[in-house]
Amino acid sequence: MGQPVERESGARTSGDRASDGATPRPELPPGQRLQRGWPVTHYGPVPKFRPERWDFRVFGATADGEKHSWTHEEFTALPYATVTADLHCVTKYSMLGAEWGGIPARTILDIAPPAQGVTHVMVWAEYGFSSNLRLDDFTSECTIFATHKDGELLTAEHGFPLRLIVPHLYAWKGPKWVRGVEYMTADRRGFWEERGYHNIGDPWREQRYSYQEEPGDGPEL
Ligand SMILES: Nc1nc2c(c(=O)[nH]1)N[C@H]1C(S)=C(S)[C@@H](COP(=O)(O)O)O[C@H]1N2
Ligand SMILES: [Mo]
């Protein structure tokens, strides 16, 4: 396999536009442009959803040392919430103001808590796609496992039946077709983070590429 390339497709989330009330934040992070519509961006094929084979797993350093799993029916019966947020693709387009509906990440942390000492999570998707997050990014109240956008079920290309939205990070940090979460006691790079994207990925600090990382931003490449 050659070097994977991210193909056009993207989204954006608009959470708090003005972070501190005093100085309104510009709408777009530096270097981003507004995109009309909602492109589709990912590497590889769109997986087929097979409800009877689908499960959502929480594993790794869980508080009780057990693995947890939910069927599609069980997972989608968890309390539904919405988050309005922008989506910023590192290829420089942004989509503003989508309403994401689904299950907040905090719900998962409540019902399947991590062990003490967990600092990061790896979010796993179909075909082994993954992205790592600091625990704080995952526990943010805006981080949500989305089943819906603007009141409609996600389409297959956009991650049906489930995708993660982390509004305050670049969109590659939000896997489509997500299948589980691994609790980790040390950081490890996910799919794009191993392939040249920044380990943290804050769009407001324009943390696009791994060569911009400073000591402490991520595990050695
Ligand atoms: N499973 C998976 N999820 C993924 C990706 C991917 O390649 N595979 N690409 C990410 C990137 S780079 C972006 S910009 C967004 C795009 O989401 P969209 O296609 O719904 O706009 O999905 C993210 N989630
Ligand atoms: Mo992206």
Residue 212 is classified by DSSP as G
Task: Determine the residue of 8, 41, 152 to mutate for testing ligand 1's pocket, defined as the one with the most ligand atoms within 8 A of the Cβ atom.
Answer: 41
Pocket of ligand 1 (CB under 6 A): 6, 9-11, 38-43, 89, 125, 129, 158-159, 171-172, 174-177
- For the residues of 156-211, what is the DSSP string, one character each? GGGTTT-EEE-TTS-GGGS-BSEEEEEEESS----TTTTTTB-SS--GGGT--BGG
Task: Determine the residue of 8, 176, 178, 192 to mutate for testing ligand 1's pocket, defined as the one with the most ligand atoms within 8 A of the Cβ atom.
Answer: 176
Question: What number of residues does the chain have?
Answer: 221
Long-range contacts of 54-59 (CB under 8 A, 24+ apart): 54/161, 54/179, 55/179, 55/180, 56/162, 56/178, 56/179, 56/180, 57/124, 57/179, 57/180, 57/181, 58/108, 58/112, 58/180, 58/181, 58/182, 58/183, 59/180, 59/181, 59/182, 59/183
| Tens of pLDDT, residues 130-185 | 999 999 999 999 999 999 999 999 999 999 999 999 999 999 999 999 999 999 99
Among the bound ligands, name the one nearest to the CA of residue 47. Answer: 1
Ligand 1 mean position to 218 CA, how many Å?
21
Q: CA–CA separation, 185 vs 207, rounded Å?
A: 23
Ligand 1 mean position to 142 CA, how many Å?
18
Among the bound ligands, name the one nearest to the CA of residue 5. Answer: 1
Summarize the confidence of residues 188-194 as an average pLDDT.
98
Ligand 1: atom nearest CA of 41 is 19
Tokens standing for residue 21: 């009330």
Residues sharing a CB contact under 8 Å with residue 104, sequence separation 6 or more, in sequence order: 81, 83, 141, 143, 144, 145
pTM of the complete model beyond 0.85: yes
Residues sharing a CB contact under 8 Å with residue 147, sequence separation 6 or more, in sequence order: 76, 80, 101, 102, 103, 153, 154, 160, 161, 162
- The H or E element spanning position 137 is helix 135-139
pLDDT at position 9: 38
CATH superfamily for domain 53-212: Oxidoreductase, molybdopterin-binding domain (3.90.420.10)
At 126, the pLDDT band (50, 70, 90 cuts) reads: very high
Ligand 2 mean position to 17 CA, how many Å?
21
Between 127 and 9, the more confident residue is 127
Ligand 1: atom nearest CA of 44 is 7
| Tens of pLDDT, residues 70-88 | 999 999 999 999 999 999 9
Domain positions in the chain: 53-212
Ligand 2 mean position to 149 CA, how many Å?
18
Ligand 1: atom nearest CA of 129 is 1
pLDDT at position 11: 38
